[in-house]
Amino acid sequence: MSIVGDVWFGFSWLLNQLPKFNPVKTIPDLAALKRHFGFPDGTSRLPGIDVFVTTADPIDEPILYTMNCVLSILAVDYPVDRLACYLSDDSGALVLYEALVEVGKFAPLWVPFCRKYSIEPRAPESYFEHVAPPQAGRVTQEFLNDYRRVQMEYDEFKVRLDNLPDAICKRSDVYNSMRAAEGDQKATWMANGTQWPGTWIDPTENHRKGHHAPIAKVLNFRLVVVEIWKMRQSLTSCRALVRENF
């Protein structure tokens, strides 16, 4: 029986190896998909796709790479009205919320750039770090100008992300000092002057990881809509939809 088993497993291994000698690579025909699933007004009846990105802590999981993941999803070649990206944040941290606001400012530049020039990879950190910069004479001047502009804006985007923790702390200190006479606890404050319902920098009852009030926030941008939906028991979801006209 052992010999029969060895022969069978050897035969199975051989069958598994044969396709590797002549691999088949399939590429979606975007024009055909548009003909079959597109409407004259530019909308599509392709199935909707929801992509979930999970994060547990903005310190253990760097914010820059989490936001790069969101940006790469927003830039995929798929009808923008059929695509949704959800960020599930177990920490309930304000810094991730405000980082998504920064994504909403940068995405209207990054997403059209990716689609116009078929950029790969579509995470800006990986693209600018691993892809050789274009050289004059080898690419069009239009691409060179767009590349330099996007790279400059991305560098500024990274600086803003790096400054978010300090900015939130300083802002909260100012608001807390103004309310010190009222005997309030040290709250974490949003940019609009309201207390953050999630986890505070100095955690207190009902404002610590896993124990905070539900949140429903919607922020509208010209080309990007970022919708935050946080539920009790530290479940935070962010829906980021890129809306642009083809």
**Max mean pLDDT range (35-49, 98-112, 168-182):** 98-112
Give the pLDDT score at 210: 56
Count Cβ neighbours within 10 Å for each residue of 60-89 and write b for 16 or more, e otherwise.
ebebeebbbbbbbbbbbebbbebbbbbbeb
Q: What is the arithmetic mean of pLDDT over 205-228?
A: 50
For residue 99, name the pLDDT band (cuts at 50, 70, 90). very high
Structure tokens at 128: 């600018």
Predicted local distance difference test score (pLDDT) of residue 10: 87
Task: Categorize the per-residue pLDDT at 234 as very low, low, confident or very high, splitting at 50, 70 and 90.
Answer: very low
pLDDT score, position 230: 37
DSSP string across 16-72: HHHHHHS-------HHHHHHHHB-TTS-B-SPPEEEEEEES-TTTTTHHHHHHHHHH
pLDDT tens by residue, 36-92: 888 877 778 888 888 888 888 888 899 999 999 999 999 998 888 888 888 888 888
Of the candidates 94, 57, 62, the one whose C-alpha atom is nearest the C-alpha of residue 197 is: 94
Cα dist. 177→149, 163, 180 in Å? Answer: 40, 21, 5
Check: CB of residue 98 under 8 Å from CB of residue 160.
no
Residue 22 has pLDDT above 60, yes or no: yes
Q: Which helix (H) or strand (E) holds 229?
A: strand 224-231
Q: Which two tokens stand for residue 154?
A: 């991305």
Q: How much is the pLDDT for 147? A: 95
134-143, 152-161, 166-175, range with greatest mean pLDDT: 152-161
Fill in the amino acid letter for 148.
R
For residue 211, the model assigns a pLDDT of 56
Which amino acid, residue 164?
L
Contacts of 139 (CB under 8 A, 6+ apart): 147
Compute how many other C-beta atoms are within 10 angstroms of the C-beta atom of residue 94: 25
